Amino acid sequence: DAGVTQSPTHLIKTRGQQVTLRCSPKSGHDTVSWYQQALGQGPQFIFQYYEEEERQRGNFPDRFSGHQFPNYSSELNVNALLLGDSALYLCASSLPTSGNTIYFGEGSWLTVV
């Protein structure tokens, strides 16, 4: 059973560009969340998708957007990249059952230059 998989693992973008990160949830999981982790800090919640809709959102600007597909996979898009967007982007998935556990992927390292 594959866990949460993310791609790409590393990428470098130029300030002002746009980036798309991809996530495949753990088998059977229908809820996907995205987190941003700057160097030396804990992960910060960006948003969560369920049934192809954004269900809740953290304190991130509209430059951050996402999408969830019918197979539950998800994309995170960031427009107009800033140097401060350089971070590890984590995808997490879960099931809506009692005591459910959230599982994280290994992340995508984004460097903005």
Partner 1 sequence: DAKTTQPPSMDCAEGRAANLPCNHSTISGNEYVYWYRQIHSQGPQYIIHGLKNNETNEMASLIITEDRKSSTLILPHATLRDTAVYYCIVRVATSYDKVIFGPGTSLSVIP
Q: Which of 24, 33, 36, 74 binds partner 1 (CB under 8 A)?
A: 33
Q: Which is nearer to partner 1, 44 or 65 (CB)?
A: 44
Q: How far is the CB of 69 from partner 1 (least distance, A)?
A: 17
Q: How far is Cα 16 from Cα 22, in angstroms, rounded to an integer?
A: 20
Q: Is 54 in the site for partner 1 (CB under 8 A)?
A: no
Q: Which of 24, 31, 68, 74 binds partner 1 (CB under 8 A)?
A: 31
Q: Is 96 in the site for partner 1 (CB under 8 A)?
A: yes
Q: How far is the CB of 54 from partner 1 (least distance, A)?
A: 11
Q: Is 44 in the site for partner 1 (CB under 8 A)?
A: yes
Q: How far is Cα 49 from Cα 28, in angstroms, rounded to an integer?
A: 15
Binding site for partner 1 (CB under 8 A): 4, 30-31, 33, 35, 42-45, 48, 50, 55-56, 58, 88, 90, 92, 94-107, 109
